[in-house]
A = this chain, B = another copy of it.
């Protein structure tokens, strides 16, 4: 690529958004930062990778009458640690973006880089049936539980994002392009986004 273009991807669970990001990065021959970003944050900070992953999960809003609610009260004492982990991870997001064109999956990267004029913020979503089909095909989850898993996962993503930003996860105005993979498929989304990025690269 001639230009520096930082592509951030947020996605609904079961939409194939992770595959879209990975394949798009391959096609554009640029790095894709996903779990490896957590590994970098862990390496730099000395905190275990698992702590970063748990930090995201801890933002799941539990039902007030549930055991989780009781547990989450205890977890609130970890707020300071979660904030610290978020700040370390944010620093790594900014560092990799400084190094040149790349794809960054989630991790509030669209918000962290919102003043960067070279950012292209993408949202990948899908209709419920497509998500169910994808989840059942890829995970050991019964059909009737697949949608619930998707809803809970997206609630967790939204809670994490909304907590650390002043934006709402999944709201159109946060993104520059949004694609429903239920219609165009993962390959269609990759080809469409590659055409778009190549257009920007030529301008």
Kindly list chain B residues whose C-beta atoms are within 8 Å of the C-beta of A175: 178, 180
Contact of A183 among B120, B182, B183 (CB under 8 A): B120
Contact of A176 among B172, B179, B191 (CB under 8 A): B179
Docked Cα-Cα span, A200 to B184, in Å, equals 7
Contact A172 B123 (CB under 8 A): yes
Contact of A191 among B120, B170, B199 (CB under 8 A): B199
Number of residues from A at the complex interface, CB < 8 A: 26
Contact of A177 among B179, B185, B203 (CB under 8 A): B179
Binary CB contact string for chain A from 188 to 203 against chain B (1 if under 8 A, 0 otherwise): 1001100110011001
Kindly list chain B residues whose C-beta atoms are within 8 Å of the C-beta of A120: 183
* Contact of A125 with B by CB under 8 A: yes
The A95-144 residues at the B interface (CB cut-off 8 A) are 120, 123, 125
Contact A172 B183 (CB under 8 A): no
Contact A195 B184 (CB under 8 A): no
How near does chain B come to A176, taking the closest CB pair, in angstroms?
A: 4
Docked Cα-Cα span, A184 to B197, in Å, equals 9
Docked Cα-Cα span, A183 to B196, in Å, equals 10
| A residues lining the B interface (CB < 8 Å) | 120, 123, 125, 170-173, 175-180, 182-185, 187-188, 191-192, 195-196, 199-200, 203
Across the A-B interface, the 3 shortest Cβ-Cβ residue pairs: A195-B195, A178-B178, A192-B196
